[in-house]
Amino acid sequence: MSKPTPKTYLSPGHRGCAGCCDALAAKFMLMGAGPDCIVVNPTGCLEVMTTPFPESAWEVPWIHSLFENGPAVASGIEAALKALGRKGNTKVIGVGGDGSTMDIGIRSLSGAFERGHDLTYVCIDNEAYMNTGVQRSSGTPFDASTTTSPAGKVSFGNPRPKKNMPAIMAAHGAPYVATTSIGYPRDMIRKVKKATETEGPTYIHAHAPCPTGWGFDGSKTIEMAKLAVQTCLWPMYEMENGEITQVKKVKNPMPVEEYLKAQKRFKHLFTMEGGDEEIKKIQALADWNIEYFGLQ
Amino acid sequence: MAVNLEDKSKMVVTEGSYAVAHAAKVCRPNVISAYPITPQTHIVENLSKFMADGEIPNCEYINVESEFSAISALVGASAAGARTYSATTSQGLELMHEVLFNAAGMRLPIVMTIANRAVSAPINIWNDQQDSISQRDTGWLQLYAEDLQESADMLPQLYKIAEDKEVLLPGMACMDGFILSHVYEPLVLLEQDLTDEFLPAYEPEYVLDPKNPMSFGAFAAPDTYEEFRYLQEQAMQNALPKIEAVAKEFGEIFGRFHGGLIDEYRTEDAEVIIMAMGSILGTIKDVVDEYRARGEKIGVLKVRAFRPFPKEQIRKAIKDAAVVAVLDKNISIGTNEGALFTETKACMYNARCDIPIIGYTIGHGGRDIRLETIAKIIEEAKEVASSGINTESQFVEVREELL
Ligand SMILES: Cc1ncc(C[n+]2csc(CCOP(=O)(O)OP(=O)(O)O)c2C)c(N)n1
Ligand code: SF4
Ligand SMILES: [Mg+2]
């Protein structure tokens, strides 16, 4: 018998693409957080598609300021609630994309975590700047072709691996840091709930495959998210006060090809000379995850 | 400034930054964000001491990691219903640029003190007004203080204007760095009881609150964006009479009046009028007093509000002069003009009034402004009155040997 589904606070009438990862992530996030929260949402697909004035899909208080200042805005809200005696159990939640979180907003995020504000920050990692048309960010994986790291005659695409953002956030002394995936809604809901119930700055990094940016059908979003976990390219774990306390095991990891071949952004690895070698490098990243996080 | 005689007994000798920090304190802010930058730093230092001593009730003080976050935190705090304060200058203010537009667009009545300073490069920590003038299009109210007392008195006035339901705009209280921020002078520290009487608690209509969810900062397409801009302009226009009314009301309660949108000094029958903003007015007035003592009809127009720009009041104040000289501690490179000069000219153009107006861009990066320099400008203005304009706008006293 399955458990009842928690209520969400994001109305369905948003303007995301069919199968949009950001919409699913926001929905699960609110299922975990509940209605007593204030959401800060920097610029990106989620912000644009949910709030075309005068409409809004948000059934909780929501604010968008800019692309790179979400965590600072959240800090100010948290401070204001405290000063005005309205903090109670209200949770302040920042939710931004990989570009916003890992690149342009990292100063703001680092500041907010170092100061120890009581807030939760959720990174919806769809591995590129989607809202501006799929440009490379520091969340873009190795060898992915994007519009600013295209594969070409002398390039296999993005030359760098993903930045290890959860480790950076854990290094701030955050009491709770967790990775999750929209392919595992219950996992995400549970972790967001735990994050918001933990006092202090907590961080959730949610892997979120984007059908439009990655090149797969909108009906396969969840499937793609699961493949990332099952190939061990996206490890799911929790860290409490810097220590890994829980890891989602993957009994029989699938080869990374299964994941790569399903997406247009990696297509060149199967057509270009030398692609095999590149795929081996990607398999090595997965193997490292298996080893380091003890995934098996 | 009309000084209430009673004031003398209340005067203390204190640094400008302390007086301003004290003024911010008695305005009962709920969230203060702080980041160091000379010559503003003493203000936030003093505020942190007040916090450490438990002197600001219901207030959180955030040591942010940059000015970008200083103003961003106040955006969040203000949207959550807090009265907010910060202080900055120069590079810090320029770093805030993007957020300044955002705060104004969201109609958040944040108040900041700007201890005006030159901008880099070359890096220079001394006073001019390039920093805040460069932010003139961001949609913030901008008032410029002439002296220490006004720098402090401006804060409760600015909160009252900014928080007015017909205005709802953020505001900058600009004071000249070092010249006002670091000088010790006798002045009156704002009294808590009088400030409470003058400035009611901030009660915003729209706040971020889970009990009544609202969306702030939505995405506006071409079919709605223009109206947001229009309404911001309307709010600025609404602020014009409020600035006058609030200054008057302040005078009634505190016994001090520093001018409303503008302040005229010996302009009644003046043939030459010198216009400026900020502490330079003190120097100008000294020179003008000497001229007046010799029977020459020279007057001074203090522009206190630069945003909104008081076109009507300026027109009225200068229309009967024979010549006007405008002194700017800033320049729009590429026009060879300071902002007050350009805007003053612009507001006279369609006013069917053809008096010559000349501009001087002066005091860059803290270059000392001497009495003789002001006298020289007055002499040149007199020339213009009799024989017309030769040079419309110019730098004052460039050191030729360095060029
Ligand atoms: C200062 C600034 N630089 C650039 C942009 C343009 N911009 C808006 S959204 C966006 C991409 C957002 O990427 P991400 O944070 O990953 O969110 P996603 O849209 O992928 O969900 C960019 C580059 C901006 N709004 N502000
Ligand atoms: S591009 Fe991706 S993230 Fe953006 S709306 Fe479409 S599916 Fe969602
Ligand atoms: Mg992204």
Closest ligand to residue A212's CA: 2
| Across A10-24, A60-74, A179-193, B119-133, least confident range | A10-24
Identify which of A126, A132, A140, A148 to mutate to test ligand 1's pocket (most ligand atoms within 8 A of the CB): A132
Stated as kind and residue range, the H or E segment containing B209 is none
Tell me, in angstroms, the distance from the centre of ligand 2 to residue B235's CA. Answer: 37
Closest ligand to residue A97's CA: 1
Task: In whole angstroms, give the CA distance from residue B258 to residue A48.
Answer: 46
Residue owning tokens 């993957």 = A250
Beta strands in B68-227 (DSSP E): 84-88, 111-116, 141-144, 171-176, 184-187, 215-216
Closest residue by CA, ligand 1 atom 24: A67
* Nearest CA-CA partner of A236 in A164, A188, A170, A168: A188
If asked whether residues B295 and B163 sit together in one domain, one would say no
Residue finishing a domain among B254, B285, B309: B254
Is the pLDDT at A189 greater than 90, yes or no? yes
Calculate the average pLDDT of chain A.
97
Tell me, in angstroms, the distance from the centre of ligand 3 to residue A105's CA. Answer: 13
If asked whether residues B310 and B371 sit together in one domain, one would say yes
A108 inside 8 A of chain B by CB: yes
If asked whether residues B289 and B247 sit together in one domain, one would say no
Residue of chain B with shortest Cα separation from A81: B80
Stated as kind and residue range, the H or E segment containing A161 is none
Is the pLDDT at A119 greater than 60, yes or no? yes
Identify which of A41, A43, A101 to mutate to test ligand 1's pocket (most ligand atoms within 8 A of the CB): A43
Cβ-contact B323, B296 below 8 angstroms: no
**Residues B215, A62: C-beta atoms closer than 8 Å:** yes
Nearest CB neighbour to A61, from listed B58, B60, B210: B210
Nearest CB neighbour to A51, from listed B65, B73, B218: B218
A121 inside 8 A of chain B by CB: no
Domain of B81, CATH number, reads 3.40.50.970
Predicted confidence (pLDDT) per residue in B67-84, tens digit: 999 999 999 999 999 999
Q: Cβ–Cβ contacts within 10 Å for residue A51, how many?
A: 24
If asked whether residues B306 and B325 sit together in one domain, one would say yes
Relative to the CA of B98, which ligand 1 atom is closest?
1
What is the band of A2 on the pLDDT scale with cuts at 50, 70, 90? low
**Residues B69, A107: C-beta atoms closer than 8 Å:** yes
Nearest CB neighbour to B62, from listed A59, A79, A81: A79
A93 inside 8 A of chain B by CB: no
**How much is the pLDDT for A1?**
52
Q: Which amino acid is at B141?
A: L
Relative to the CA of A100, which ligand 1 atom is closest?
15
If asked whether residues B141 and B188 sit together in one domain, one would say yes
What residue numbers bound the domain in which B188 lies?
Answer: 5-254
Tell me, in angstroms, the distance from the centre of ligand 3 to residue A119's CA. Answer: 21
Three-state secondary-structure class, residue B117: coil
**How much is the pLDDT for A22?**
98
Three-state secondary-structure class, residue A29: helix
A53 inside 8 A of chain B by CB: yes
**How much is the pLDDT for B259?**
98
* Nearest CA-CA partner of B37 in B45, B25, B28: B45
| Mean pLDDT, residues A264-285 | 98
**How much is the pLDDT for A13?**
82
**How much is the pLDDT for B199?**
98
If asked whether residues B282 and B144 sit together in one domain, one would say no
Is the pLDDT at A240 greater than 60, yes or no? yes
Global pTM reads 0.97
What is the band of A255 on the pLDDT scale with cuts at 50, 70, 90? very high
Closest ligand to residue A65's CA: 1
If asked whether residues B277 and B247 sit together in one domain, one would say no
% of residues, chain B, pLDDT over 90: 97
| Mean pLDDT, residues B18-25 | 98
| Mean pLDDT, residues B11-39 | 98
**Residues B102, A65: C-beta atoms closer than 8 Å:** yes
Tell me, in angstroms, the distance from the centre of ligand 2 to residue A23's CA. Answer: 8
| Mean pLDDT, residues B38-42 | 97
What is the band of B5 on the pLDDT scale with cuts at 50, 70, 90? low
Any atom of ligand 1 within 6 Å of the Cβ of A208: no
Any atom of ligand 1 within 6 Å of the Cβ of A132: yes
Domain of B307, CATH number, reads 3.40.50.920
Any atom of ligand 2 within 6 Å of the Cβ of A17: yes
If asked whether residues B193 and B276 sit together in one domain, one would say no
Render B298-358 in DSSP notation, one character per residue: EEEEEE-EEES--HHHHHHHHTT-SEEEEEES--BTTTTB-HHHHHHHHHHHTTT----EE
Is the pLDDT at B10 greater than 70, yes or no? yes
Which residues from chain B sit within 8 angstroms of residue A59, using beta carbons? 213
A66 inside 8 A of chain B by CB: yes
If asked whether residues B237 and B114 sit together in one domain, one would say yes
If asked whether residues B239 and B106 sit together in one domain, one would say yes
Residue finishing a domain among B254, B288, B309: B254
Task: In whole angstroms, give the CA distance from residue B272 to residue B5.
Answer: 32
Residue finishing a domain among B254, B284, B314: B254
Any atom of ligand 2 within 6 Å of the Cβ of A21: yes
Task: In whole angstroms, give the CA distance from residue A259 to residue A246.
Answer: 24
- List C-alpha distances in Å: B269 to A118, B192, B265, B318, B356: 63, 41, 11, 10, 17
Cβ within 8 Å of A, B 270-289:
none
Any atom of ligand 1 within 6 Å of the Cβ of A97: yes
Cβ within 8 Å of B, A 148-187:
none
A84 inside 8 A of chain B by CB: yes
Domain count, chain B: 2
Task: In whole angstroms, give the CA distance from residue A158 to residue A160.
Answer: 6
What is the band of A14 on the pLDDT scale with cuts at 50, 70, 90? confident
Any atom of ligand 1 within 6 Å of the Cβ of A118: no
Predicted confidence (pLDDT) per residue in B158-179, tens digit: 999 999 999 999 999 999 999 9
Cα A141 from chain centre: 13
**Residues B213, A74: C-beta atoms closer than 8 Å:** no
Any atom of ligand 1 within 6 Å of the Cβ of A98: yes
If asked whether residues B286 and B313 sit together in one domain, one would say yes
**How much is the pLDDT for B2?**
52
| Mean pLDDT, residues A89-109 | 98
| Mean pLDDT, residues B170-196 | 97
**How much is the pLDDT for B3?**
53
CA of A89 vs chain B CAs: smallest distance (Å): 11
A35 inside 8 A of chain B by CB: yes
B99 inside 8 A of chain A by CB: yes
If asked whether residues B240 and B284 sit together in one domain, one would say no
Identify which of A129, A130, A158 to mutate to test ligand 1's pocket (most ligand atoms within 8 A of the CB): A129
